[in-house]
Structure 1
Amino acid sequence: MLRRRMVRRFDPSVPVEMEVVRDLVALAVRAPSAGFSQGWDFVALLNPQDRAAFWAAADDGGPADAWLRGVSAAPALVLCLSDAGAYLDRYAQADKGWVDRSPDRWPIPYWDTDTAMAAMIILLGAQDAGLGALFFGIPGQRHDAVREAHGIPEDRRLVGVIALGTPAARAAHTGGSPRTRPRRPLGDVLHAGRFGGWSGASA
């Protein structure tokens, strides 16, 4: 956990095998989910044609900057999808007691939250597997294009994407926001009893 960090530059010459991705997703589905609804799906893009289709669909017309050049070199992408319907169906069952499927009962969309927790497990599993990984989002106006490019049903939401691969040599020990933004001290983020109720935790 303490070694994990986001990697933004990858070595495209070192592939990520499907067996590795399968092992990481096998870990991810151990994540908690409300009502054990398990409303998640993962689309692995390992061949160059699929990855090229993703980057073309996700392109918002911005410049091909250093971030894009570094991340688009990743030899594997995993699209993390949430399925709200799985939760609405599950909580309409007798043991949950909601007779309707209204999303208004959900002030927090746990289908997205649970998928994000599963994605975090992939990030941690990648660290254990000796891989670099990055979780990133898709521009809102490009979601439909990405769905179409990869046959994703309209009822699935693109929570984010995980890039996987061997870190580029120059990225092994440099880069990223932690160089310019310090981590918030524990005393600033941990509260006891009420918000702002305790500042006794040290950094």
Structure 2
Amino acid sequence: MRGIFITIEGPDGSGKTTALQQVVPRLQQEMNRKVVATREPGGSPIAEKIRSLILDPLHTDMDSRTEALLYAASRRQHLIEKVLPVLESGDVIFCDRFVDSSIAYQGYARGIGEEGIREINEFATEGIEPDVTLYIDVPAEVGIQRIHANLDEREYNRLDQEKLAFHEKVRAGYQQLAKANPERIVVVDGTMSREAVAEACYHIIKNRYPSYF
């Protein structure tokens, strides 16, 4: 039996990574299957090397299409090395970002367009999609305030240098995706406390997959 592929998405500063860090240990204790946490870009040795190229704050001259292709390459390697083996074993994998991120960031915010991003990622993933996606939604200005308030607690990368308008486009892209995919993408209010966001994410998963608890 194929396992469960869960992703968590959101603009920078949404708190999605913190939510994942709080929810995963609880799921590992309560679910009757192994629960693996991972991230994109990265998540496997080769994919992590590609991540370092993409997010290096010094790589400000990176072309938008180069960026999109590097994300897809990292995603392919991560899928083969990490995601598919977990799913094939019937277990649960919880991933910080997947294709939705590329559509929101490169498709919408960079202006490449959703269709082009979908095409290169269809090639990279061979059509693999998450079973459920938790989208942590926050206004762009809130996300930016959190980034600057927590620089000592998080990785500072090239995307953190972008202006407010870029992050507003990212959010708009995510909102369009959520509207178009209501059966897969569940919206969580990211302006709530960290504890409340984590609790909401936990209950979404528990309600969707009660037989795994």
TM over 0.5: no
TM-score (norm 2): 0.29
Structure 1 or 2: more helix by fraction: 2
TM-score by length of 1: 0.30
